[in-house]
Structure 1
Amino acid sequence: MSQQLNNSRPQEEEINLREELEKYLKYWPWFLLGVIISLGIAFVYLKVTSATYHTTASIIIKDEKSKSPSSEMAAFADLGLLGGMGTNSIENEIGILRSKRMMTNVIKALNLNVTYHNENAIKNQELYLDTPYFVQVLLLNENKLASYTRDEANEFYLEVNEKENFHLINTETGKKYQGNFGQPIEIPFANIILLENTEFQSKDIGQSVKLKIRFTNLEPVVLDYRNRLQINLTDKNSSLIELGLDDQVKAKAQDILDQLILEYNREAIEDKNLVARNTATFIDERLQIINKELDSVETGKEQFKEANRLTDIEAEAEMFIENASDYNKREQELSTQLELANTMIDYLQSDSRSDLLPANLGIEDQSVNTRITEYNNLVLERNRILSGSTAKNPVVIRLNDQIDQIRANVLESFERLRSNLRVSKEELNRQGSVINSKISAVPGKERQFRGIERQQNIKESLYLFLLQKREENSLSLAVTAPKAKIVDRAYSSSTPVSPKPKIILLSGLIIGVLIPFLVIYLKNILSNTVKSREDMEKLAKEIPVVGEIPKIAKKENEMVLKHDRSVLAESFRILHTNLQYLIVNAADKEKGNTIFVTSTVKGEGKTLVSFNLALTLANTNKKVLVIGADLRNPQLQRFEEDARLYNGVSDYLAGDKFKLSELIRTSMHHENLDLLPSGSIPPNPSELWRRTKTGEMFKELENQYDYIIVDTAPSLVVTDTFLINKWADITLYVVRAGYTEKKLVNFAVDSKRDKKLHDVSFVLNDVKWANFGYGNKYGYAYGEEKESILERLKNKVAIW
């Protein structure tokens, strides 16, 4: 038993899934139309939208820690000034590459805030370098440009009149600005120069280009490319960085990435050079300080030596010892010189001026020897002249005067020499005692001298070290390597990253199916009206649905004609057939059958169903009468133009003035169809229906006609139908698809249960083609000429 249950569940689930699918498959024209429209939009989008390509470049950030000590930081490192500083992490370098300042430098360098577009092209793609003319911005007022950007007046068309003449036409205001190529021109927010692109390939193409030049502030351009820039670290343990950028122009994206790397290296080199220059400044300042300190130490050393009369302590100590033995020799020499000086002084004071002075006596003073020689020469010349002249000769007199003067000088020189020698002798004696004291003071002076010399050596070493570092720093300043090594220069993908045709077309296909699905799904969920036979069978299982009337297009005929093979006629024929099985004791009944047609509210199609059912029965050679039983709002005039003008049911029930035979009229549409109009609209329809004449009227009419179709009033609104329903053999309850609310169907069920209506059957009116029949899979057009797929699609869409 349980196995049977288990076997039945999948089957039920399969049936339910099939039913759910059929709810959507019956709207297949909308799905097909949605797919066609979506694919068409996707195709147009692919044709109009410019392709976007991915551009990639890769660099390696050099590790500062692995650099040699001869780098620009080696001087500071050797000096111990960078002990607490390390190299920046790779995340910091990525942050620099992403910085707004770096991207601003790139945009300025490439002049990317000025763009060029070809208005004649289908795709409004930026021309970039493939433009016949370039704009060089001399001066840009960002504030004015910002106001023009808000007014959309920052775009200009280029109109070239002659070879050297052009016009810039503002796209918003239409104002023209005339200028010449290569010469400055002033526009409201900038001073620019327009130049021809010498690398532009074809002038014929340039003539077909309707060039539009757009000026934009740096800020939005910088933010746009900064947001689009992709920087990825390929591996956590490496310094290889991959830069990426998506753009519609390959060359532009490549230039941006290459320029970004260039700006990064340039800034890094400037930073390194700044460090080197600061290092040089620091070293120069330290050299000045060390130089002053070294001068101070050397001056102290000099003063110490001067104060102690030292040159070399060891040498002087040896010299003091050696000079101790030389002292006596020197003293003897001085005594000899002193004796010679005394002798010569005595000689000059006693001797006449005519005698020559002795020379080459060993006197050490050369000035004295020179004067003696000069004196002797004058004496010899005078004596030579006197040999041939007298003493009164003017020359002899002049020479005598010179001889006396020089003799006095010689005497003075010897006296000075004697005094000097005496002083020297005294000094020598003093030095003798000093030498002896110095020999005893050598150890203490040596200790002091060693301390001064130690300070001098330290300052000299530091001074030489700084000189060496200054030269190393100068070399590093002259030769600075870039920080980022380029692994791959910027290159673009051959296939676009967007839009991707396969994805776009697939998306269009999915959207084309999804939108109708969602519309139908939401429509079914939000709808509170009856749509199809399935809805009726779920809402009221105890009341059968005996007929479905299709939705009629506006241009189609609402009535069933003779020999009519339309879907409308076939639906009423099916209704007629189903009624034959519902008529109780139809075979034994000799009188005609009375069929009431009612509904819940106004507008559900009671009159249409009544009249067409009567026409269908009349086409079977049956005598049929249509009664307009809605005395409050008669509608038979829709099919019989003058029906409202005739007397009818209300006039018959109100008194004995009219007979039924006088009120019944033959329909203009069929010879077997008669019409009993509603007549004059009474003030008390319910009271009229309560009269005994009502039953007499139905009995009399049943004897005259095979079928009596009664078009009654809405059951929910008024009580008229309930009052006369006892005379009905069958009650057809009309429900209009898409109009009657589902909750109103319960009114028919309750009325049957309360026995207010009997022998009730539903007729579903105005059913859309998609909901008609059993999912419209089989249809009611058997034997008709088949329409083309396009015509059927058009009809289904129109009916739906």
Structure 2
Amino acid sequence: MNENTETQTGQNIYDNNDEGISLSELLKIFKHHFKWFLFGFFLVVGMAVVYLQLAIPQYESGVSVLVDPIQKSSSIENLLESSASSTKIATEVELITSRKNIEFALSTLDLDSYKNAEGDSYSNREVLGNVKDRIVVSTVKDTNIVKIVVTDASPMFARDLANALASSYDGLLTGIAKNSKTAQREFIDAQIPINQKMLVLASDALGDFRENSDIIQLTDKSTLLVNEISYYKLRLEPLKLQMQEASVFIQNYNQGLVNAGIKGILTLDELGNDVKIKAKLKELNGWKTELTMYESLSSPQIGTSATSLSSNNSSRVYFLNSAIEQITKDLLDRVSVLTSAYANESNTQSIVQLLTTEVAIQVLEERGAQFTNELSQLPVLERQLSELQRDVQIYETIDLKLRDMLEEVKLVEAAVTGNVTVVDQANIPLNPVSPNKLLILAVALLLGCAVGLLFALGIEASDQTIRNEAQIKKLVKNAIPLLGWLPLMKVSPKDKYPMFSVFNDPLSFEAERFKLISNMLYNKHDMKVFSITSCSMAEGKSTIVANVALSLAQMGKKVLIIDGDLRLPSMERFFLLKHSESGLVDYVINSVPLERSIVQPLDSVPNLHLLSSGSTPLVPAAIFSNPNYIETLKHLKTLYDFIIIDAPPLDSASELLTISKNIDGLIITVRAGVTSKLSLIDLVDNLKTGNAPILGIVFNGCSAGTTNSGYHYGNYYNSYAYRYNSYQNNNSKKGLKLSNYKIQNSSGYRKKYRQNIRQRDNQKLDLSDTVLAFGPQSYCHSLHEWGDVQHFNPVTGIGPQHNADFKDGLEAIENDLESIGKL
């Protein structure tokens, strides 16, 4: 069978199994492979028990703490609030399991006082192991309460480490909070002297100018211009820093993309040249210019009081801000579309921020340039005075702001205390948390049942042999009827014909099963020629041929058995006959007279004849396609009521399809636990392709539970035999024993079957094989009783020992064959 056929056949099996598996089938599988279920069950449970014996008990101790966030606003309002709102503390929680915090907590403990199960000190870091893996930190939802849980084999160490972690964690957060405020205070302290120095220089320069110049008073216009220029310069500095920050972020991000091998990254110039972006930036420039004008009028100027213009133009300012926000949103959407292939949200926002900041800086620079130009038109002395006054005012304003910030930071720094408050101290745990023996055993029981069931199903799935009638019906899709089933039997060494139950004990249960199949053939009035085959060797087809043929002969019918297995004939060995030198092959090829080949195998059954195979041909299929064979078979149908051909299995002989062309019905033998699903499907497919007249299937070698009608056939068989035993006791002195064919235990059955197959492969068709197969005593006994092989006339049905004139019988058959032109 080639690979394509195997694949197609395997697919057929899957197609046939699409219906799934029923509960009854699942229970049968469970019962049949119960030992595998027990193996899987005890394997898992045993592993669980071993784990519980080897596992070291682990103890768990926890401490609950209330954590304040490090990052708080430094404003006086938040500092003086009486109730703090719940703040996310994800960053603070991560610090609990930081290496610095764990190391500091361990340094506060006396590790020599803790021992493991072997008595080794925890001061050995290899004994201590990775402490971080045994620390679990969790937060209570919507609160700042954090629970630190430590698990360890030592309950004392678990408690002490949990408390030490809380203590060291408090110091860690307090230090971080103070360090941030201290750094901020130190920075402001360093900036104040620098600003004061610059203020002194500016004041001295202004004083020197007034002393050395003749200017007494500047005009109001020059003062206004100076204020405006100062305002725009103060606005420009933070915008430039903001633009520089965004530019650095975008450059680093794009460089990372380039290093990662990502192409198609748009530069800022390419983005700025986009038509839509360019239009939006132009529109933004106009709105920003107008808004800057309103802001310069409504904002308090350096050294002046607030103007009342802001209240009069608040609606327009609100409109301008709304328009700017909408344009910014449109820019963000457009940039997101252009950079969707590589940019994330932060990168997109940085690009929009950079573009809008450039517009704002451009507007402020243009406005400042206009005022600077106007100021340049004033006299030189006035301009110098205005610039000096402007510098003094700027440094004075910065000095006031720095001093306010310094006082605020000092107040916050002084208010920083412990960020962690212990709510519940850790206690010594009394009971271990792992291993949870009850839970592990419960899970092991459930998992053991599941694994055991999987083992049973896996063994069943790996077994491709046919074990029950339901599988046969599913494989053939109920297209081929089951003619009957035969029980799994064990031969008795006392029997002359080991597997001939119909001959050995006609009233036995096994014999009745064969007779049931014979009755089905008997009722086929329009059929005479039947062939019995199997999927592979040693599946019981020869036994079925002999028993069915004898059953038909016992009904008074004249039956001929043809041994069609030309490669490995078995019918002569079955009947303990010496191999005949002439047979079917010799008649078809060499025209050897047919009466020399047809014998009466049983002396007590004169209407049962056997046509042996004879010589071994080179091409067995040519024998069954020979016109001599076809015409002779037609003639034999007029002489016999039934002709049963023992056909070879398909996997070892291709002539099966040739045999099937000249028969009325073909019976397939399937042996339980031996015949594979692939073999049956392949046989049926080939027979259907060759238009073979498949009559039905005989299920051979059944054990209890493999048949639908004989689920408890063993009990039925015992009671059946008992009734016949009682009947025979009442009618004769000799009681009927139970059938010689005992129900065989399935244990070791397949092993013995494989040994039988290997033995058959090594056998040759000679006398020594017969003696080896059936024993020298049985064979010699049969020869002694029967003498040599008995030859018969197929026309008269009378053998030489019953025919006074053997020559007449010989001439009769020769004349009859000559009339059809075959001699």
- In the superposition, the TM-score normalised over structure 2's length comes to 0.45
- In the superposition, the TM-score normalised over structure 1's length comes to 0.46
Give 1 or 2: higher helix fraction: 2
